[in-house]
Chain A
Amino acid sequence: MKVSIKVNGQNYTRDIEERTLLVHFLREQAGLTGTHIGCETSLCGACTVLLNGNAVKSCTVLAASADGTEVTTVEGLAKGNELHPIQEGFWEKHGLQCGFCTPGFLMATVQLLERNPNPTEDEIRHGLEGNYCRCTGYHNIVKAVQFAAAKMRGEAIAAD
């Protein structure tokens, strides 16, 4: 079947099998491999993207269901060489080690901060419950999100 999905502002029309998952469409049809596949069982959140503005696990959405939608992946966050404040937060606060989970955390954080620009630590941990990191222990991820939130609110950020 033919499916058209606008990814990071660019239209991708592809002939695919009905059973193609959105994550495979993004990686194999659109060639955007920033979206990772961790568990394939809807649990780890590495495959998180924004579907019409909602953070979803793209391993648990059919590409067919996403026909005609707009998707934002991690490749759509930075503006040229300028990192998105959330990417900057993960960079500044060492919110990653191997980086495998990071694209998913970044995209889930976009949604978290859009809904709650000034989250408490508890709210950050609750908001990112759908994302697993096997390296960091989450501590620095929380700091990274706090950094990004402050920057996006336009506040001065204290150095470490």
Chain B
Amino acid sequence: MYPAKFTYHAPWSVEEAITLMNENEDSKLIAGGHSLLPTMKMRLATPAHLIDMKNLRSLLSYIHDKGDHIAIGSLTTYHQIESSSLVKQAAAILAQTVSEVGDMQVRNMGTLGGSIAHADPAGDPPAAILASNATMVIQSSGGERTVAASDFFQGFFETAVGAGEILKEIRVPKFSGGSSYQKFKHPASGYAVAGVAVCLTKNGGNIGGVSVSVTGVSDGAYRANGVEAALTGQAFSEALAASAAAHAIDGIDALEDPFADAAYRGQLAKTLAKRAIIAAWNNA
């Protein structure tokens, strides 16, 4: 299984990569290649120009402590993130979520930037990005801009990253409350049939702030506002977790495929939401 022919480029700077994208209309960036190469081998993607970011790794592969947030270069691999003590301690939801992506080999190659720029509806990392209120730094020939997670994911494989733009950095606010990612894996591919990420703070016996995001269920990951509203400020109990979780797919047309119909997927999302809320409470 060979990809279709393409012209190969391996630029040494972000600016050079952007120039190459602007000069070659039918071009694609390649990071870890673990979403792009499989689709190219199936000839679902046939870019005429492939712009390999391998020489940008020294620039865009890092995990920095920035005081109130952690700055993660877009080419940082899942393995680097899951084994970072800083991420485990100050952005536990991200560490846990990426450790559940694919398998060891996939986590050695796949990058955080590639995952969220790709925005696979069954991808795990978008859930953590939304629940942790991360900010994305995007560069084009016109300069740099930042986009909040809530504006970043725009539907089926669609994000705020436009033509001629590179996702450079992901800024994850530090968080010391409780968190949990609960996932139902597709038994063959390992992707999320449904996945729910929860971050919450405790205020005595009550829930303080809470964020809940869902992946796998809709055309893109989303914040489950109904669940959040039902939890905020309330006294915690397992019954509350269950009744709040029932709002996990409010306003959503759940996806259907041969493995899971819409009703089953929706039910998975609610069950996983309940488990994630309880688990996050227990480790807050």
Contacts A54-B79, A55-B105, A65-B52 known; list 10 others, CB within 8 Å. A45-B105, A54-B108, A55-B108, A59-B1, A60-B38, A61-B109, A64-B52, A65-B30, A129-B103, A129-B104
What's the minimum C-beta distance from B203 to chain A, rounded to whole angstroms?
36
Query: Max chain A CB contacts within 10 Å: which of B34, B102, B103, B188?
Result: B103
Instruction: Select one of B1, B102, B104 contacting A41, CB under 8 A.
Output: B1
Q: Judging by beta carbons under 8 Å apart, are A48 and B188 in contact? A: no
Number of contacting residues on B, CB 8 A? 29
Q: Judging by beta carbons under 8 Å apart, are B104 and A65 in contact? A: no
Q: Judging by beta carbons under 8 Å apart, are A65 and B54 in contact? A: yes
In chain A, what residue has the closest Cβ to B79? A54
What's the minimum C-beta distance from A114 to chain B, rounded to whole angstroms?
11
- Which residues of B1-30 are within 8 A (CB) of A? 1-8, 10, 30
Fill in one digit per residue for A100-141: 1 if any B CB lies within 8 Å of its CB, else 0: 000000001001100000000000000111110000000000
Specify which chain A residues have a CB less than 8 angstroms from the CB of B6 in the assembled complex.
Answer: 18-19
What's the minimum C-beta distance from A79 to chain B, rounded to whole angstroms?
25
Fill in one digit per residue for A25-67: 1 if any B CB lies within 8 Å of its CB, else 0: 0000000000000001111010010000011110111101101
A19-B3, A54-B79 known; A42 vs B34 contact (CB < 8 Å) = yes
Name B's A-contacting residues (CB within 8 A).
1-8, 10, 30, 33-34, 37-38, 41, 50, 52, 54, 79, 102-106, 108-109, 188-190
By size class, the interface of chain A is 20 to 34
Can you sample 10 A-B contacts with CB below 8 Å? Answer: A19-B3, A43-B188, A55-B105, A60-B37, A61-B109, A64-B52, A65-B54, A67-B10, A130-B102, A130-B104
Task: Say yes or no: is A17 at the interface (Cβ < 8 Å to chain B).
Answer: yes
Specify which chain A residues have a CB less than 8 angstroms from the CB of B108 in the assembled complex.
Answer: 54-56, 111
Fill in one digit per residue for A80-107: 1 if any B CB lies within 8 Å of its CB, else 0: 0000000000000000000000000000
Alpha-carbon separation in the docked complex, A111 to B105 (Å): 9
